[in-house]
Amino acid sequence: MLFGAAPVAAYTPPSNDDAAWLYKPSTVAMVDLQLPQSSIDALWADARTYVPGTFKLTSGSRSFGPWAVEVRLKGRWGSGYGLDGKAAFKIKFPNSRQRVGGMKKLTLNNMVQDGSYITETISYELFRGMGVPAPRTGYAVVTLNGLDYGLHLNVETPDDRMFERWLPGEGTKHLYEGSYGCCYNWQDPYSDEHFDVDEGDPADRSDLAALLNTLSLEGLAWRQAAEKIADLRELTTMWAVELYVGHWDGYAWTVNNYFIHNSRRNRITMHPWGLDQTLGQSGPLPFSGPGWGNLLDRCLTDVVCSGYFSEAVLATRDKARALALDERTMTVFAAISPYIEADTRGYGLASATWWRDRTVEFLQNRPSHVDEWYLPVSSPVNLAISPRAASARLSWGAPELAGGVVSGGYLIQYKRSRDRTWRALEILDPSATSTLVSGLAAGRYEFKVSTISSRGASAATKTVTAWLSPARRGGHFISSALTSPVGR
């Protein structure tokens, strides 16, 4: 683990809010929409322009509406169905006093590209479990003018409200939605073809431009520029989970279906969207290869950032196991299966059951794919400390590296014994076998060294403890003890 820090994003939302009941996958709400003929005609002319309508939602003892709302259709390639098929819907509540659970919008996905009805729910749960701010999900049966449109996924719409839950007090400066256009206009921050401004000033995209401008750099120079404006731990975790769940239509693989958020503290993060073809719907993805994700490609040119990514992949594997997502899939599917069977615009329960089983198989096999990809990194050997006046010289022996692992140098971690936080010093020279740590006050210090590589940081060496004195007569060696493995 690099820098003694958590190897993943560390964001945690509050456990409850006014809309928590709306996003429980085991509960299915009923949504009734009413559209006048003029609105229906307008949607046939332009499916993505909001039109007036009436909305009502019931869920158990809760009831909302009928309210005046704005409605449009949702979806493009593959999922963009008209009103004569299983349409997907976006619902906007223009009256702030009439909102379900305080939500400004509802997003109702038709799941026509998710044969199991379950992959988005499970994939989003893994993102959230890994500390990546991501939508919650529930289910709803939708009717329009009395016609049954079947079971839909109610996906929390990313907006400033969602991010306030995850990043309390930081606010939202911008929320950009990146979709379509692939890589063609990706480096143009003012390209409306590829970047929609969902929150913030559309005329000032200087924060997005600053992020995209880092793509002119590589390696250490890229990382130093990117980490000034972005949370690289969160970004690498986002990409790792995308690849783990097989999100071929996401950022890391295709540069599609993602959000870029910048807080008012100017901390950029990335967030998933459009997870309806994950978890085996289109097969597993490798954790390295020719993806289009420009920022991930730059990350992998820097040994430290590539280490972050590798550590995030391992942490994702462990979190997926801990969440028992295969069992979770079976539980949620059992709750919604009566609604799947009743969905006359879907593919039927038998087909959904087949896709469910494929999803479970993918989740059970995916950890082994990580094990096959990951090559563990050896630790340095024979760490020794030579105390000096207000400094310490460290020396060590080079590790043995497995084939395919690229060494980037060493990570020195040190702290006063009474302190809780380790300080870090990068030695980005693979041939180095010693270094001087200077500028230290007198006292008892602990030191350890890890190998930095393209597969993350190795376990640390044994911790070596030494007394340092400000006097030139040096210090006195004390003892050593075994530490827990780091980066595992």
Is the pLDDT assigned to residue 193 strictly greater than 80?
Answer: no
396 in Cβ contact with 434 (< 8 Å) = yes
How far, CA to CA in Å, does 383 sit from each of 173, 212, 273, 455, 482?
47, 41, 46, 22, 12
**Mean pLDDT across the stretch 180-189?**
59
Give the pLDDT confidence score for residue 290 in this predicted structure. 59
Return the closest-CA partner of residue 187 out of 284, 345, 33, 297.
297
- At 388, the amino acid letter reads R
Residue 385's pLDDT is what?
A: 95
pLDDT at position 178: 86
Q: What does the alpha-carbon distance between residue 326 and residue 320 come to, in Å, rounded to a whole number?
A: 9
Distance CA 223, CA 428 (A): 13
Residue 306 has pLDDT above 90, yes or no: no
pLDDT of 79 above 80: no
Candidates 281, 299, 467, 302; CA nearest to 392 is 467
Assign 181 a pLDDT band (cuts: 50, 70, 90). Answer: low
Contacts of 252 (CB under 8 A, 6+ apart): 239, 242, 243, 291, 293, 296
**Tens of pLDDT along 126-136?**
999 999 999 99
Most confident of 12-16, 77-81, 420-424: 420-424
Q: Which one has a higher pLDDT value, 464 or 404?
A: 464
Percent of the chain with pLDDT over 70: 87
In this prediction, residue 372 carries a pLDDT of 85
Range list of β-strands (E), 304-375: none
For 184-218, the three-class secondary structure string (H helix, E strand, C coil) is CCCCCCCCCCCEEEEECCCCCCHHHHHHHHHHHCC
Cis peptide bond N-terminal to 158, omega within 30? no
- Give the pLDDT of residue 92: 97
- Of the CA atoms within 13 Å of residue 469, those in its CB half-sphere come to 7
Gyration radius (Cα) of the chain, Å: 26
Q: What letter does residue 484 receive in the DSSP assignment?
A: P
According to the CATH classification, is domain 381-481 in 1.10.10.10?
no
**Alpha carbon distance 305, 391 (integer Å):** 29
- Across the chain, mean pLDDT equals 88
Helix boundaries (H) for 26-132:
37-45, 119-129
What's the average model confidence in pLDDT over 370-389? 87
pLDDT band at 434 (very low <50, low <70, confident <90, very high): very high
CA 396 to CA 483: how far, in whole Å? 17
Mean pLDDT for 309-324 is: 93
Of 145 and 400, the structure prediction assigns the larger pLDDT to: 145
Rounded CA gap, 148 and 132, in Å? 35
Q: Does pLDDT of 311 surpass 90?
A: no
Q: Is the per-residue pLDDT at 444 higher than 50?
A: yes
Work out whether strand 456-457 and strand 443-453 pair parallel, antiparallel, or are unpaired. Answer: antiparallel
Angstrom distances, CA of residue 133 to CA of 9, 70, 81: 9, 27, 29
pLDDT per residue as tens digits for the range 259-277: 999 999 999 999 999 999 9
Residue 54 has pLDDT above 80, yes or no: yes
Model confidence at 471: pLDDT above 60: no
Read off the pLDDT band of 191 (50, 70, 90): low
Q: Which of 194-208, 349-363, 390-404 has the highest mean pLDDT?
A: 349-363
Angle, in degrees to the nearest 10, between helices 349-373 and 325-342: 160
Is 80 or 420 the better-scoring residue by pLDDT?
420
State how far the Cα of 285 lies from the Cα of 79, in Å rounded to an integer.
22
Within the chain, all domains assigned CATH 2.60.40.10 are found at 381-481
How far, in Å, CA of 103 to CA of 33, rounded?
A: 17
Of 21-30, 130-139, 191-200, the one with minimum mean pLDDT is: 191-200
Distances in Å between the Cα of 388 and the Cα atoms of 176, 181, 470 are 52, 59, 8
**pLDDT at position 476:** 42
- pTM here is 0.83
pLDDT of residue 9: 66
Q: 309 and 300 in contact (C-beta within 8 Å)?
A: yes
Is 414's pLDDT higher than 80? yes
Mean pLDDT across 27-38: 97
How far apart CA 359 and CA 330 sit, in angstroms, is 10
Q: Write the CB contacts of 188 (distance below 8 Å, at least 6 apart in sequence).
A: 194, 212
Determine contact, residues 179/70, Cβ cutoff 8 Å. Answer: no
Chain-centre distance for alpha carbon 373: 20
| pLDDT at 340 > cutoff 70 | yes
The per-residue pLDDT for range 33-51, each reduced to its tens digit, is 999 999 999 999 999 899 9
Instruction: Give 23's DSSP letter.
Output: G
Q: How many other C-beta atoms lie within 10 A of the C-beta of residue 336?
A: 21
Which phi and psi angles does 446 have, rounded to 5°? -120, 140
CA 432, CA 32: separation in Å to the nearest integer?
Answer: 68
The amino acid at residue 142 is: V
Residue 308 has pLDDT above 50, yes or no: yes
85-125 tens-digit pLDDT: 999 999 999 888 999 999 999 999 999 999 999 999 999 99
